[in-house]
Protein backbone atom coordinates (compact mmCIF):
# COMPACT_ATOMS: atom_id res chain seq x y z
CA UNK A 1 0.00 0.00 0.00
CA UNK A 2 1.59 3.21 -1.14
CA UNK A 3 0.83 6.74 -2.22
CA UNK A 4 1.35 8.19 -5.67
CA UNK A 5 3.27 11.28 -6.72
CA UNK A 6 1.03 14.31 -6.73
CA UNK A 7 -1.45 12.73 -4.33
CA UNK A 8 0.15 13.32 -0.93
CA UNK A 9 -3.08 14.74 0.49
CA UNK A 10 -4.98 11.64 -0.61
CA UNK A 11 -2.28 9.31 0.77
CA UNK A 12 -2.25 11.18 4.09
CA UNK A 13 -6.01 10.81 4.48
CA UNK A 14 -5.78 7.07 3.80
CA UNK A 15 -2.93 6.68 6.31
CA UNK A 16 -5.08 8.49 8.88
CA UNK A 17 -7.90 6.00 8.34
CA UNK A 18 -5.49 3.08 8.81
CA UNK A 19 -4.14 4.47 12.10
CA UNK A 20 -7.60 5.39 13.34
CA UNK A 21 -9.02 1.93 12.58
CA UNK A 22 -6.15 0.16 14.34
CA UNK A 23 -6.67 2.29 17.46
CA UNK A 24 -10.42 1.66 17.40
CA UNK A 25 -9.78 -2.08 16.96
CA UNK A 26 -7.75 -2.08 20.19
CA UNK A 27 -10.28 0.06 22.05
CA UNK A 28 -13.41 -1.83 21.02
CA UNK A 29 -12.14 -5.37 20.47
CA UNK A 30 -13.03 -6.36 24.04
CA UNK A 31 -16.66 -5.54 23.18
CA UNK A 32 -16.50 -7.85 20.16
CA UNK A 33 -16.53 -4.87 17.79
CA UNK A 34 -14.15 -5.44 14.89
CA UNK A 35 -12.65 -2.68 12.78
CA UNK A 36 -10.90 -3.39 9.50
CA UNK A 37 -9.95 -1.38 6.43
CA UNK A 38 -10.32 -2.39 2.81
CA UNK A 39 -7.62 -0.88 0.58
CA UNK A 40 -8.74 -1.15 -3.04
CA UNK A 41 -6.19 -0.85 -5.79
CA UNK A 42 -7.08 0.15 -9.34
CA UNK A 43 -10.79 -0.68 -9.53
CA UNK A 44 -13.07 -0.02 -12.51
CA UNK A 45 -15.45 2.74 -11.43
CA UNK A 46 -17.12 5.80 -12.90
CA UNK A 47 -14.01 7.72 -11.85
CA UNK A 48 -11.67 5.46 -13.86
CA UNK A 49 -13.94 5.31 -16.92
CA UNK A 50 -12.95 8.88 -17.84
CA UNK A 51 -9.21 8.14 -17.83
CA UNK A 52 -7.25 8.01 -21.05
CA UNK A 53 -7.03 4.35 -22.19
CA UNK A 54 -3.22 4.62 -22.25
CA UNK A 55 -3.26 5.56 -18.56
CA UNK A 56 -5.43 2.53 -17.81
CA UNK A 57 -3.07 0.30 -19.80
CA UNK A 58 -0.13 1.68 -17.81
CA UNK A 59 -1.83 0.93 -14.51
CA UNK A 60 -2.82 -2.57 -15.64
CA UNK A 61 0.75 -3.31 -16.73
CA UNK A 62 1.96 -2.50 -13.18
CA UNK A 63 -0.50 -4.92 -11.59
CA UNK A 64 0.70 -8.53 -11.33
CA UNK A 65 -2.77 -9.78 -12.37
CA UNK A 66 -2.55 -7.46 -15.43
CA UNK A 67 -6.05 -6.02 -15.09
CA UNK A 68 -8.15 -3.58 -13.14
CA UNK A 69 -10.30 -4.93 -10.35
CA UNK A 70 -14.08 -5.02 -10.39
CA UNK A 71 -16.26 -3.34 -7.78
CA UNK A 72 -17.79 -6.75 -7.05
CA UNK A 73 -14.37 -8.01 -5.94
CA UNK A 74 -14.20 -5.26 -3.33
CA UNK A 75 -17.80 -5.98 -2.32
CA UNK A 76 -16.91 -9.64 -1.78
CA UNK A 77 -14.34 -8.61 0.82
CA UNK A 78 -17.02 -6.47 2.51
CA UNK A 79 -19.30 -9.51 2.66
CA UNK A 80 -16.49 -11.61 4.15
CA UNK A 81 -15.64 -9.00 6.79
CA UNK A 82 -19.30 -8.63 7.73
CA UNK A 83 -19.74 -12.37 8.17
CA UNK A 84 -18.85 -14.79 10.94
CA UNK A 85 -16.12 -16.17 8.66
CA UNK A 86 -14.01 -13.17 9.71
CA UNK A 87 -14.89 -13.34 13.41
CA UNK A 88 -11.22 -13.20 14.47
CA UNK A 89 -10.08 -10.58 11.95
CA UNK A 90 -9.60 -7.22 13.64
CA UNK A 91 -7.42 -4.17 13.05
CA UNK A 92 -6.32 -5.25 9.60
CA UNK A 93 -5.85 -3.54 6.27
CA UNK A 94 -7.05 -5.87 3.52
CA UNK A 95 -5.68 -4.96 0.09
CA UNK A 96 -7.86 -5.76 -2.92
CA UNK A 97 -5.32 -4.78 -5.54
CA UNK A 98 -4.36 -7.71 -7.75
CA UNK A 99 -0.99 -7.92 -6.01
CA UNK A 100 0.06 -4.33 -6.76
CA UNK A 101 2.75 -3.45 -4.23
What is the set of active-site residues?
Answer: 10
CA dihedral 84, 26, 91, 24 (to 10 degrees): 100
**Residue among 96, 88, 93 nearest 34 (CA):** 88
Please give the DSSP secondary-structure letter assigned to residue 16: H
**Residue among 38, 43, 34, 15 nearest 94 (CA):** 38
Amino acid sequence: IQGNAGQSNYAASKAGIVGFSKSIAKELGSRNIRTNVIAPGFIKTEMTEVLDPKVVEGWAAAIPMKRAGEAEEVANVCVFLGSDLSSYVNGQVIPVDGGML
